[in-house]
Structure 1
């Protein structure tokens, strides 16, 4: 929460607060807690509320009910596990030595209803040995597992909060106590949960009067939101869980609203300040291509083309996200829009993440545009100097109309000639700086003018709705939400190692009928650390033992560009019948004659990746199949509740793949299972770090805040109206990196 200035109270060193002292203050400072303001920015990780603290019997019953999704087709869980809390007394503590000089500490605990549980610790044994004393009472919070054999719960490394008679008495009176994250360093320094609560109370007394409201009054009234000062107080010291819930709702909304205000302003700035190119919606080449296509465009494709054409004729730079399911026809939409740019006298560039994909697009464009007098050039890093120089000359002189390439599109001495449209495929593989550099090269390519090119970014698979509103919230969005009618849904089935010969026979049967197949592995070569199959090892096995009479190819990321090109050409021309590959084929590979895909060790792949791989088949009119091979023990776990969290997530992925081919459904399940950071990838820096809000579970609130924020900016773009003064200061402070609970 940003600030404009600080009060004297805010700068009081924590070491002078009662019970803290210099040593503990230093430990708190190492955790980023230096001032009272920092204290109030601590986010409660939960609350001790008598109504929410269950007995061990209640938890065991809930765990068994929670696991029923494993036996209910179509019932995909939002979360495969959740935290439970129980008040316990320590009955017994024991320590057992392990190999390597380590040890394991276990504590047997019981609750007032006679339930028993075991707490297990592998790390920081010395700390827990000192903490856990027989007869002491604790609130235990964690993700337990129920052991049917012993009839008891097991918590592995749970959070422990010591409670005394005063805490118990306050809980009996209905008090709700906040719980905060505690690092091991804080625990070792003797900082207790009660001490943190006391520190929060002191900070509230110091700063409560300096908290200034940032949301407009009409929004507070319309959505029945707490005042900001009240929300900050009640999120730390609620009198009931209902109050805590409303405080969280207010602060979640605020985080979403402030972020969406910045996105709305950024979008508005782009549209107001940058001169753009006017492209008229008349393209003889695009019409000619549509007439020669062997299929009709879907209504969704036509709608999206109209949205893009409406953008590019306005004289304002387009910044649009195009998303759709695997095989929905995004590339042909992009190509038709590129032809419109060419017919308006502009160059266009298509940037893709891999050379395999660039070469495939290049070949397809050459084939599709034959006879339309369109010059298509390929620009990739593996080209020789002579070829590269020839292509660069054609680009610079304007002879090249469409340039397909990788990072080479903005490397070296490349100079464009009237670059009017930039299309970026698989946009999450590129950084913001890379996209900006290509736009800059386009801007300087217009002789005598500084015109920004239009930008169309495409997503390989559907982006969950809430992620699209945050990571790409400043872009206009087009969605292709239907598949071509000639495409049949891919039939997907989980197969087990003991059935793998049947899978090989299935592949042979389809090859005998004139089709082709992929066999995908998670690794290039065998690993000593992982019990996972590899492509190179099994390529030799398939050649000699399984398909000795068939032509088997091998494709992986460590091959040179020339080697990959030879392999892909042989597969495209059907000289290779079975292609053994890694995930290098994940995106863009288009071989309509390939109708079977076998994915080995399917449990090792992410859900979005499995769906993307599956999209390499089913690209023609024939029925296609995807076989997900996994270990035999998953046969049992697919029907059982006896699975750990990670194994349960693997099961959820496999079952989802069997049950649906809808990429939008899969995207939402993947977001629930992995969270936004993993879904977008570690290189993606566009995901904001919200303290209170969760874009996975708070989608409705995000939608509401986005609508309100864009309405505010549409009415007052610079936030200069008097009722937006505090909001303006907050946004400016947030942009400058300041963060606080108040403005003074």
Structure 2
């Protein structure tokens, strides 16, 4: 076969052609030879082990048996028609059964011949059988690639299987592809790194990940490919960070002035935690360097991120600069505005809010005052990035829950000043350390890992449907104390597929137990108009209603210190991160708060682990690590949008040690050779150039 390029369309691989190529594009997103080469098997089957028929049991995932085909018979009619063959070795006999391709199998299977049969054993009426076994003559060449060693198993789909692209079919085209592109598999890592970490070269690793000659070679190939994936992610991220530090000078905040000092001495209603003080010191250091700050502040719900952001904005004000804070929703923006106004009081700084609902007359006035420098802090939503919004001297941008904003939206804020403003990103979604290193590896990361003094840990309990009266009793007890309650449902209307207690039925049940006029209720869900949602939210926030019935629309953005109970219906249907965010809506006052996880009686093992984790711990970072292990990075907030994680083999939950190794290696590399000018780093420099130019690395390496 003529040598193929890794960029060559998949149709040109032997055994593929236009029709299968179209299917591979649609079903697996495999477009080129390179895509197919990096479509790795999800496991390998050990074909070195042969079982005797007497050794077989139904618990085995698969068996490989050498035996003689002693008879075969077509049985049944129409849909029930099947071919049953008797298969025997010196220890006993079993059946081989086919329901499809009966004529071909019957014509090609010869009684009296010795075969190797492979497949999942089943036990029926005391007889073992294999349905649709893989089968071949014993005297056929067994040494062909992958056959009698660790055989790769590839993910497939029903459509692909109809065209012969089951795991066996994909094996064949992978084998043909490896023969054709062997010469194109150039090395991507410097030789000294291969030697230091004892990694196989790229060509050997790719061959052995598909068709390993031994378990040891497979493990070495997996480690090499995982290291490479994580190394190049870190190389890009840390190179971006380095370029930004070199390219973007930043305004210097070299003094702590009257505004920050007055706030700290006279307005701050509580002592800062050690974690808050540490993060503020890190921000102070960043803003004195003369280069643009890009810092991510992670803090669990209620850890005091808003105060850290406010003190950072006051620091900007003290140094003659304006500051702004952008939130993803109007409710959250208004909440930040009211919190900041309450904290700074009157006369210290001029704080304004700008959202999509700001009236035209107010907006016009605000625009002119902002451009004249009369507004010190502007808090708002996406409205802040409009071209009409011009600052006199923007020095600091705070972005809350930044995964809700696109890259271009954030960049439009950065361009509102001649010298790019310092960037402070905040998130209340705890991010596992490994994910932070990959998603936000170009940012400096601060963690607020203490709760303010006086906050009582939320008591979390898991109740089954049969214990619902206990839930109603807790609600009535807390409402009698003057407290408020959230009830969150996963659905708005009944689903035919999911047997859930849906919101509308839940409201009817609540009306029976909590009748008017003694109990007042707010109802909020995603299908309502924004104005209606805001009205209902406001009734609850102001204390006019005691019960808030909602879907997960209230996950982020409602701060009601008087709410002391969070009830989550069908809690087994929620992810851990979402459960933790919902629980964080309570526990914001000094009183004891409760979270009740209601579930059905039948729980999967994973659902039970999620609910048990919630009952056991309030630590968001511990919860996020378990969530990462359960769900993988693709489902966690912001990961898909980032575009950074294109991992084919590495697993952030399981490969933390390799990730740390890769990051440390890149940090040391840039410390030694900042501009990658050494000959041994020419490959890496070409890789970064290829990323900027959009040309495939394999084309230029």
Please give the range of the TM-score, normalised by the shorter of the 2 chains.
0.7 to 0.9
Relative contact order higher in (CA < 8 Å, ≥ 6 apart)? 1
Change (3 A) 1:337 1:515: same
Provide the residue aligned with 1:48 in structure 2.
Answer: 45
Structure 1 residue 543, shift from structure 2 partner:
4.4
Change (3 A) 1:218 1:393: same
Change (3 A) 1:245 1:575: same
SS at match of 1:519: strand
1:466 aligns with 2:398: no
Provide the residue aligned with 2:577 in structure 1.
Answer: 608
- In the alignment, the residues of structure 2 paired with residue 578 and residue 732 of structure 1 have an alpha-carbon distance, to the nearest angstrom, of 57
Change (3 A) 1:584 1:281: farther
Change (3 A) 1:402 1:177: same
- In the alignment, the residues of structure 1 paired with residue 575 and residue 614 of structure 2 have an alpha-carbon distance, to the nearest angstrom, of 11
Structure 1 residue 192, shift from structure 2 partner:
6.7
- In the alignment, the residues of structure 2 paired with residue 335 and residue 708 of structure 1 have an alpha-carbon distance, to the nearest angstrom, of 37
Change (3 A) 1:306 1:168: farther
- Which of 301, 310, 327 is 1:352 aligned to? 327
1:336 aligns with 2:333: no
More moved, 111-120 vs 31-40: 111-120
- In the alignment, the residues of structure 1 paired with residue 360 and residue 74 of structure 2 have an alpha-carbon distance, to the nearest angstrom, of 71
**Residues 207-606 of structure 1: pairs in structure 2 closer than 5 A:** 207-291=181-265, 292-411=267-386, 413-441=388-416, 443=417, 450-525=418-493, 530-535=498-503, 538-539=506-507, 541-543=509-511, 545-548=513-516, 549-606=518-575
Q: Deviations over 1:481-517 (max 9, x none)?
A: 2222321211111112222222111111112123222
Structure 1 residue 418, shift from structure 2 partner:
1.0
Provide the residue aligned with 1:66 in structure 2.
Answer: none
Change (3 A) 1:18 1:377: closer
Change (3 A) 1:505 1:224: same
SS at match of 1:461: coil
- In the alignment, the residues of structure 2 paired with residue 167 and residue 286 of structure 1 have an alpha-carbon distance, to the nearest angstrom, of 83
SS at match of 2:577: helix
Provide the residue aligned with 1:669 in structure 2.
Answer: 626
Q: Deviations over 1:65-113 (max 9, x none)?
A: xxxxxxxxxxxxxxxxxxx55558999999999xxxx999999999999
Structure 1 residue 49, shift from structure 2 partner:
1.2
Provide the residue aligned with 1:69 in structure 2.
Answer: none
SS at match of 2:681: helix
- Which of 673, 689, 692 is 1:732 aligned to? 689
Structure 1 residue 664, shift from structure 2 partner:
0.6
SS at match of 1:495: strand
Change (3 A) 1:244 1:743: farther
Q: Deviations over 1:386-428 (max 9, x none)?
A: 2333333332222221111111111362222211111111111
Structure 1 residue 732, shift from structure 2 partner:
2.7
More moved, 499-508 vs 520-529: 520-529
1:656 aligns with 2:631: no
- In the alignment, the residues of structure 1 paired with residue 359 and residue 309 of structure 2 have an alpha-carbon distance, to the nearest angstrom, of 29
Change (3 A) 1:403 1:131: farther
Q: Deviations over 1:325-370 (max 9, x none)?
A: 1211111111111111112121111111111111111111111111
**Residues 85-104 of structure 1: pairs in structure 2 closer than 5 A:** 85-87=62-64
Do the aligned partners of 2:523 and 2:550 also contact (CA within 8 Å) in 1? yes
Do the aligned partners of 1:522 and 1:600 also contact (CA within 8 Å) in 2? yes
SS at match of 2:642: coil
- In the alignment, the residues of structure 2 paired with residue 253 and residue 718 of structure 1 have an alpha-carbon distance, to the nearest angstrom, of 22
Change (3 A) 1:378 1:541: farther
- In the alignment, the residues of structure 2 paired with residue 376 and residue 699 of structure 1 have an alpha-carbon distance, to the nearest angstrom, of 43
SS at match of 2:395: strand
Which ranges in structure 1 are unaligned for 5 or more consecutive residues?
1-5, 63-83, 444-449, 638-646
Q: Deviations over 1:540-565 (max 9, x none)?
A: 65345424312322333444555444
SS at match of 1:732: helix
- In the alignment, the residues of structure 1 paired with residue 21 and residue 308 of structure 2 have an alpha-carbon distance, to the nearest angstrom, of 60
Do the aligned partners of 1:37 and 1:741 also contact (CA within 8 Å) in 2? no
Q: Deviations over 1:31-66 (max 9, x none)?
A: 77787656544423322214789999999879xxxx
SS at match of 2:333: helix
Provide the residue aligned with 1:711 in structure 2.
Answer: 668
Structure 1 residue 628, shift from structure 2 partner:
0.9
SS at match of 2:415: helix
Structure 1 residue 220, shift from structure 2 partner:
1.9
Structure 1 residue 14, shift from structure 2 partner:
8.2
- In the alignment, the residues of structure 2 paired with residue 736 and residue 108 of structure 1 have an alpha-carbon distance, to the nearest angstrom, of 60
More moved, 288-297 vs 323-332: 288-297
More moved, 597-606 vs 550-559: 550-559
Change (3 A) 1:607 1:86: farther
Change (3 A) 1:17 1:438: closer
**Structure 1 length-normalised TM:** 0.80
- In the alignment, the residues of structure 1 paired with residue 664 and residue 527 of structure 2 have an alpha-carbon distance, to the nearest angstrom, of 47
Change (3 A) 1:621 1:8: closer
Q: Deviations over 1:110-129 (max 9, x none)?
A: 99999999999xxxx97899
Structure 1 residue 25, shift from structure 2 partner:
7.2
Look at both structures and tell me which one has the larger radius of gyration over its CA atoms. 2
- In the alignment, the residues of structure 2 paired with residue 408 and residue 32 of structure 1 have an alpha-carbon distance, to the nearest angstrom, of 37
Do the aligned partners of 2:75 and 2:82 also contact (CA within 8 Å) in 1? yes
Do the aligned partners of 2:351 and 2:378 also contact (CA within 8 Å) in 1? yes
Do the aligned partners of 1:55 and 1:86 also contact (CA within 8 Å) in 2? no
